[in-house]
Structure 1
Amino acid sequence: MKLLRVGPAGAERPALLDEDGTLRDLSGVVPDIDPELLADPAALDRVRAAAAAGKLPGAVADTAPEGPRIGPPLARIGKIVCIGLNFHDHARETGAPVPEEPIVFMKAPDTVVGPHDPVLIPRGSRKTDWEVELVVVVGRTARYLETDQEALACVAGYAVGNDVSERAFQLERGGQWDKGKNCETFNPLGPWLVTADEVPDPQALAMRLWVNGTLRQDGSTADQIFPVAEVLRHLSHFMTLHPGDIVSTGTPAGVAMGTPEPKPYLRDGDVVELEIAGLGRQRQVMTSA
Structure 2
Amino acid sequence: MANLWWGFLAFASFVFLLVIVLLATAMRSAFAAGESSQISPRGGWYLVLGGGVVLPLIAVVGLVGSGLWIGGVIARDEPASGLTVEVSGKRWWWEVIYYDGAGKEIARTANEVVLPVGRTARILLTSDNVIHSFWAPNLQGKTDLIPGRVNESHITPAKVGVYRGLCAEFCGVQHAFMAFIVEVREENEFAAWLADQARPRTIPDDPHLRRGLEVFLAYDCGTCHTIRGTPAQGKMGPDLTHLAMRESLAAGTIPNTKGHLAGWIGDPQAVKPGVLMPPTALEPDDQEALLAYLASLD
Question: For the superposition of Structure 1 and Structure 2, which TM-score range results when normalised by the shorter chain?
Answer: under 0.3
Q: Normalization by structure 1: what TM-score?
A: 0.27
Pick 1 or 2: higher relative contact order, CA cutoff 8 A, min separation 6: 1
Higher-helix-fraction structure: 2
Q: Normalization by structure 2: what TM-score?
A: 0.26
